[in-house]
C-alpha cells in the first residue's frame, strides 16, 4: 500500500488528487492537505470582480466531495518538510498545522510515500509597500474574496461617475517582478466594457500599468502569431485592442509603493514617477511560501528542496541570457535530491524568466516572472500523477510521462466583456510556452500555425463554456476525466 500526500487543493493539487484516486485502488491512500476549505475556479474571478457572477458560482467545499470519492482531506497548512523522517520517525513526513478559519490548531506529522507539492504561490502583497487588498483604493482579483471586494470598490466608483464625477482607473501589475499579466489584461477589458454598459465611459480615464517591456509580453517574451489572414506580433494586437477601447498604457513600470490613490513606480529609464487613481487593481508578486526542510538529524537542508519555489529537474545553472535554452526547463517536476517529491504548476522553481531580463538604469530588475497558471498547472499535475501511478502499479520508479513548457502549448481565453449576445473574448493560443529558438528560429521561437489570436463574441462563449466544463470536471461528475486539462 502507498500513501500519496498532496499539498494544496488549487488547480494542480486537485487535478493530481482526482487522477490518482480514479486510477489507483482504494488500498492506496490519497491525502490532500490544504488550508483552504474550498476549491475555486480562479479564471472566473474576473467576472466576480465586475459583479457579473456570484462568488458562490466559482467555488465549492472540498470535504464533502473528497469524502464521497475516497480522498482524505485535512484542512491544514504545511510548515516544514522532513524527507528523511527524523530520529523518532524514519518515514518521510511533512509537519503541518491545522487551520480552522483564522484559528491555528495543533501540529501533526503527515507521513507519505510520495509527496506532491502543489501549494502554488504566496500572494506576496507585502513586497510592495501599501499594496493591501481593499486598502488605499487598491484591490485584487487573485481570490474570490478579493474579487468580491474589488467589485464593491468598482461599483462605488461607477456610482460616483453616474453622479457626474470623473475618475481614474489603474489596472495592471503591482510589483517589478509580478506575473499574471493575463489576469490583469482580462480585468481591464471587462472593467472598460462595464463602464460602457453603465454609460459612464466618457467620464473615466482607464490606464494599464505593467512591468512588461512591450504590450502583449505576458511574461512569455511576446510572440509572433496568426491573426486572421495576417501575421502580427502580440504587442501589435494588444495595442490595437487598447487603442480601440481608449485605454492608455504605462510600460516597464516597477510599482514599489502604494498610498491612498497613488501608485509610485520606477521605470526602465530609472525615473521615479507616480500615477494617481480612484480605483486600482494591481497583481502582486508571487513567491514561495518560505518552507523549511530538515534531515533526520534536524539539520537545515532547505537548499536541497527550495530555491524560493521547489527545486525540480531544471537546469538552474547561472548563465547569461544568450545561453538560455528551452532545455533548461523541467520535464518531470521531480526533486533531484528526493525522488519521491514532485512540484507541478506554480510550485516549481523556474530556471529563469521567459521574458528577456531587464534592469532600470538604477539597476532595479523590472521583468515579468514566468507564468505557470491555468493550463500548464493542470497538465504538469496530471503527468506527475501518472508517473506516480505507473511507479506504484509497476513496482519500480517510472518517469515515462514528461512535459516541458518548452514543448507544451497553452490556450488563454480572456473575457473582454460579459454577455451572451454582446460579450467578447480575446483568444490567444501559444506553442510552445517557452520559445524554442532552435526549432522555430524564423518565428520568434514558436510554431506559427499553433500560435494565433482571435477577438469576438465566440471567445466569450468559449470562456463561459470552459467555466461550466471545468467546474463540472472539478466536481468529478460522470466522465469528468474526458475533459482535457
pLDDT tens track for 437-447: 999 999 999 99
Taking the CA of residue 262 as centre, how many other CA atoms within 13 Å lie in the half-sphere pointing to its CB? 7
Nearest to 13 by CA among 91, 73, 58: 73
Does residue 153 contact residue 52 with C-beta atoms inside 8 Å? no
Grid coordinates standing for 171? 489596472
The verdict on whether omega for the bond into residue 432 sits within 30 degrees of 0, i.e. cis, is: yes
In the chain, the domains with their CATH numbers are 3-123+287-394 (3.50.50.100)
Is 220 strand, coil or helix?
A: coil
Grid coordinates standing for 161? 461617475
Task: List Cβ neighbours of 413 (8 Å cut-off, separation of 6 or more).
Answer: 425, 426, 427, 459, 462, 463, 466
Long-range contacts at 71-74 (CB < 8 A, ≥ 24 apart): 71/17, 71/18, 71/21, 71/30, 71/31, 71/32, 72/29, 72/30, 72/31, 72/32, 73/9, 73/31, 73/32, 73/34, 74/31, 74/32, 74/33, 74/34, 74/98, 74/108, 74/110
What pLDDT is recorded for position 103? 65
**Hey, which residues does 204 pair with through a beta bridge?**
167
Nearest to 409 by CA among 379, 439, 385: 379
What pLDDT is recorded for position 421? 81
User: Strand order in 204-209's β-sheet?
Assistant: 138-139, 279-283, 167-173, 204-209, 248-250
What pLDDT is recorded for position 72? 98
Residue in the structure block whose three cell numbers are 498547472: 377
Distance CA 339, CA 209 (A): 42
Does residue 275 contact residue 207 with C-beta atoms inside 8 Å? yes
Distance CA 478, CA 407 (A): 31
What pLDDT is recorded for position 89? 82
Task: List Cβ neighbours of 382 (8 Å cut-off, separation of 6 or more).
Answer: 15, 16, 19, 485
The DSSP symbol for 352 reads S
* 10, 12, 455 from 402: Cα distances, Å: 21, 16, 33
Is 433 strand, coil or helix?
A: coil
* 30, 47, 373 from 118: Cα distances, Å: 14, 25, 12
pTM of the model: 0.96
**Hey, which residues does 110 pair with through a beta bridge?**
94
Distance CA 105, CA 108 (A): 10
Is 392 strand, coil or helix?
A: helix
How confident is the prediction along the chain (485 residues), in pLDDT tens digits per residue? 999 999 999 999 999 999 999 999 999 999 999 999 999 999 999 999 999 999 999 999 999 999 999 999 999 999 999 999 998 888 999 999 998 766 668 999 999 999 999 999 999 999 999 999 999 999 999 999 999 999 999 999 999 999 999 999 999 999 999 999 999 999 999 999 999 999 999 999 999 999 999 999 999 999 999 988 889 999 999 999 999 999 999 999 999 999 999 999 999 999 999 999 999 999 999 999 999 999 999 999 999 999 999 999 999 999 999 999 999 999 999 999 999 999 999 999 999 999 999 999 999 999 999 998 888 999 999 999 999 999 999 999 999 999 999 999 988 888 888 878 888 888 889 999 999 999 999 999 999 989 998 998 888 898 999 999 999 999 999 999 999 99
Strand residue runs (E) in 112-153: 114-117, 122-124, 138-139
Q: Phi/psi at 165 (nearest 5 deg)?
A: -80, 160
Nearest to 259 by CA among 324, 170, 326, 177: 170
Task: List Cβ neighbours of 267 (8 Å cut-off, separation of 6 or more).
Answer: 250, 252, 253, 254, 273, 360, 366
* 31, 86, 119, 291 from 310: Cα distances, Å: 20, 21, 10, 9
Grid coordinates standing for 271? 525615473
Segment 258-272, tens digit of pLDDT: 999 999 999 999 999
Other beta carbons within 10 angstroms of residue 69's beta carbon come to 14
Taking the CA of residue 463 as centre, how many other CA atoms within 13 Å lie in the half-sphere pointing to its CB? 29
Other beta carbons within 10 angstroms of residue 444's beta carbon come to 17
Amino acid at each position: 500500500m502507498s500513501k500519496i500526500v498532496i499539498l494544496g487543493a488549487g488547480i494542480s493539487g486537485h487535478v493530481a488528487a482526482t487522477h490518482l484516486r480514479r486510477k489507483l485502488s482504494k488500498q492506496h491512500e490519497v491525502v490532500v492537505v490544504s488550508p483552504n476549505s474550498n476549491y475555486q475556479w480562479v479564471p472566473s474571478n474576473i467576472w466576480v470582480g465586475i459583479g457579473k457572477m456570484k462568488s458562490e458560482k466559482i467555488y465549492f467545499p472540498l470535504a464533502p466531495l473528497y469524502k464521497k470519492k475516497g480522498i482524505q482531506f485535512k484542512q491544514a497548512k504545511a510548515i516544514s518538510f522532513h524527507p528523511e523522517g527524523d530520529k523518532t520517525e524514519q518515514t518521510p513526513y511533512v509537519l503541518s498545522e491545522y487551520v480552522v478559519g483564522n484559528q491555528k490548531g495543533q501540529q501533526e506529522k503527515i507521513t507519505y510515500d510520495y509527496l506532491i507539492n502543489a501549494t502554488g504561490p504566496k500572494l506576496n502583497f507585502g513586497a510592495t509597500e501599501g499594496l493591501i487588498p481593499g486598502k488605499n483604493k487598491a484591490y485584487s482579483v487573485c481570490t474570490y474574496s478579493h474579487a468580491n471586494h474589488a467589485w464593491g470598490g468598482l461599483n462605488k466608483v461607477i456610482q460616483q461617475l453616474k453622479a457626474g464625477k470623473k475618475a481614474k482607473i489603474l489596472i495592471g501589475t503591482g510589483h517589478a517582478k509580478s506575473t499574471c499579466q493575463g489576469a490583469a489584461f482580462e480585468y481591464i477589458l471587462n472593467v472598460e466594457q462595464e463602464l460602457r454598459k453603465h454609460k459612464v465611459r466618457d467620464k473615466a480615464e482607464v490606464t494599464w500599468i505593467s512591468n512588461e517591456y512591450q504590450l502583449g509580453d505576458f511574461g512569455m517574451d511576446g510572440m509572433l502569431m496568426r491573426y486572421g489572414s495576417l501575421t502580427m506580433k502580440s504587442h501589435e494586437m494588444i495595442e490595437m485592442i487598447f487603442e480601440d477601447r481608449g485605454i492608455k498604457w504605462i510600460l516597464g513600470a516597477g510599482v514599489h509603493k502604494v498610498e491612498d490613490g497613488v501608485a509610485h513606480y520606477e521605470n526602465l529609464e530609472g525615473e521615479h514617477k507616480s500615477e494617481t487613481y480612484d480605483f486600482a487593481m494591481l497583481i502582486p508578486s508571487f513567491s514561495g511560501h518560505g518552507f523549511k526542510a530538515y534531515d533526520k538529524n534536524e539539520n537545515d537542508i532547505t537548499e536541497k528542496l527550495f530555491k524560493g519555489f521547489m527545486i525540480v529537474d531544471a537546469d538552474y545553472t547561472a548563465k547569461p541570457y544568450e545561453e538560455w535554452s528551452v532545455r533548461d526547463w523541467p520535464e518531470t517536476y521531480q526533486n533531484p535530491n528526493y525522488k519521491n517529491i514532485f512540484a507541478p504548476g506554480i510550485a516549481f522553481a523556474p530556471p529563469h524568466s521567459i521574458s528577456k531580463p531587464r534592469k532600470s538604469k538604477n539597476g532595479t530588475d523590472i521583468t515579468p516572472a514566468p507564468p505557470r497558471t491555468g493550463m500548464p498547472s493542470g497538465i504538469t499535475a496530471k503527468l506527475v500523477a501518472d508517473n506516480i501511478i505507473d511507479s506504484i502499479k509497476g513496482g519500480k520508479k517510472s518517469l515515462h510521462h514528461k512535459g516541458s513548457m518548452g514543448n507544451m502549448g497553452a490556450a488563454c481565453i480572456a473575457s473582454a466583456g460579459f454577455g451572451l449576445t454582446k460579450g467578447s473574448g480575446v483568444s490567444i493560443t501559444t506553442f510552445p510556452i517557452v520559445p524554442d529558438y532552435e526549432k522555430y528560429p524564423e518565428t520568434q521561437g514558436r510554431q506559427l500555425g499553433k500560435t494565433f489570436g482571435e477577438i469576438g463574441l465566440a471567445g466569450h462563449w468559449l470562456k463561459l463554456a470552459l467555466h461550466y466544463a471545468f467546474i463540472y470536471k472539478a466536481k468529478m461528475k460522470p466522465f469528468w476525466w474526458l475533459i482535457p486539462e
